[in-house]
Structure 1
Amino acid sequence: MKFPEPLVEGRLIRRYKRFLADVRLPGGEEVTAHCPNTGSMLGCQPENARVWLSRSDNPKRKLQYTWELVETSPGVLACVNTARPNAQARHAIESGVVEELAGYSTVRSEVRYGEEKSRIDLLLSGHASEPDAWVEVKNVTLAEGGRGYFPDAVTERGQKHLRELMAQVAKGDRGVLFFLVNHTGIEEVRPADHIDARYGQLLRQACEAGVEVVAYRSALAGDDGNPTGRLDLTEAVPVNLEP
Structure 2
Amino acid sequence: MLLPQPLVRGRLVSRYKRFFADLVLDDGQEVTAHCPNPGAMLGVKDPGQVAWASWSPDPKRKLAYTLQMVEQGNAPQESVLVGVNTLLPNKLVAEALAAGAIPELSGYETIRPEVKYGEASRVDFLLTGEGRPPCWLEVKNCHFSRVPGLAEFPDCKAERSTRHLLELAARVALGERAVALFVVQREDCEAFQACADLDPAFARGLDAAAAAGVEVLVYACAMNTDAVRIARRILWTNAHLTAI
Range into which the TM-score falls when normalised by the shorter chain: over 0.9
Deviations 1:25-71 (A, max 9, x none): 11111000000100000111122111110111110000000000000
Deviations 1:215-241 (A, max 9, x none): 1111113xxxxx3x1111111111102
Is 1:175 aligned to 2:172, yes or no?
A: no
TM-score normalised by the chain length of structure 2: 0.94
| Residue 103 (structure 1) aligns with | 107
Counterpart mapping for 1:66-215 below 5 A: 66-73=66-73, 74-114=78-118, 116-126=119-129, 128-145=130-147, 146-215=149-218
CA contact (8 A) 1:69 1:81 kept: yes
TM-score normalised by the chain length of structure 1: 0.94
| Residue 235 (structure 2) aligns with | 238
CA contact (8 A) 1:77 1:185 kept: no
- Gap regions ≥5 residues in structure 1: 222-226
TM-superposed deviation, 1:187? 1.6
TM-superposed deviation, 1:5? 1.9
| Residue 38 (structure 2) aligns with | 38
CA contact (8 A) 1:215 1:236 kept: yes
- Cα distance between partner residues in 2 of 1:27 and 1:206: 49
Query: Identity of counterpart residues, as a percentage?
Result: 43
- Name the SS of the counterpart of 1:62 in structure 2: coil
Structure with bigger strand share is 2
Paired AA for residue 92 in structure 1: A
- Name the SS of the counterpart of 1:60 in structure 2: coil
TM-superposed deviation, 1:129? 4.3
- Cα distance between partner residues in 2 of 1:98 and 1:40: 29
Regions of 4+ moved over 2 Å:
none
Deviations 1:188-214 (A, max 9, x none): 110100111111111111001000000
Structure with bigger helix share is 2
TM-superposed deviation, 1:82? 0.5
- Cα distance between partner residues in 2 of 1:131 and 1:155: 29
CA contact (8 A) 2:68 2:85 kept: yes
- Gap regions ≥5 residues in structure 2: none
CA contact (8 A) 1:143 1:185 kept: no
